[in-house]
Structure 1
Amino acid sequence: MRYLLDIALPYAQAEIRNAKDSAGRLCWRVAGFAAAGLVAALGLGFLALSFHLWLLRHVPAPDAALFTGLLCLGVAGLVALTAWLATKVRSRTRHREVAQAATLAELQLLQAELEQGLRANAKTGTLGMLVAGLALGASPGLRGALRDLARF
């Protein structure tokens, strides 16, 4: 159990340091996005007002209000669709990162168990490594699986 703690503790400490560092950057990013959103909302408001005033010269007032409202609803729908798609892509990326981290942790645990077993039975371990190398060399499927695993 101690070797598990020895493996996990440095990663936990690194994650805490990373979280502290990114918290400050996140605060400035949120402030920047809020300011950009406010300026964009003002710009869209002025654009809608100018479109409405332009329409008033060409169509009756109720029709101009209807067209302006429909335009604003269309823009709101596009913004909502864009936000939904962006969060969907981010969640996929995050799930992939979590899966890769879990795979790495499992591989490190397996490595620790193998090292412990090799220390106890050096001759059997050497024979097992020779058989594993022979199997990897002889099987294209195993080589492909190992290559895909190494890409993480």
Structure 2
Amino acid sequence: MTQPKPVDAQNHVWMVMARSVASNSNCHRRRYGAVVAYMDDNKICGTGANMAYNCPICCNREERQIPHGTRYEECTSVHAEQAALIHSTMTDGADIILYGYDCVAGEEIEALPCKICARMILSANIKRVITSKGIYDAAELCWEIITA
């Protein structure tokens, strides 16, 4: 996998914001937060958490014991990246900051986009993907995910 550039103090502030957004998630398995921003200009364009919006069933995948990483079409939730991009005022050349927390294991995890979210990030012309592990070139990372 592509090696990220290290995260600096400025990126840490954005990661704290993404973690705060993740606290809005109503998923019982994993909580993700995403912030679309022009980090160099300190401008937030949109935020999103993975959650089942306007849906009485929070996790039908959990009910059906569907393993993580499979059959996303059965999930009632919108991914954090999807929600952030949908709610963004602008995306062209912006950054997306991703935070992840595994509720089952009780630990922070690196939040990498799934194939669908990778396609959306590419389509939105996002410049960089920032995770807890570092800063990725969005096009390079997303193409790697899509073609894996």
TM range (shorter): under 0.3
In our comparison, the structure showing a higher alpha carbon Rg is: 1
Q: Which has the higher contact order (CA 8 A, sep 6+)?
A: 2
TM-score w.r.t. the length of structure 1 is 0.23
- Larger relative strand fraction: 2
TM-score w.r.t. the length of structure 2 is 0.24
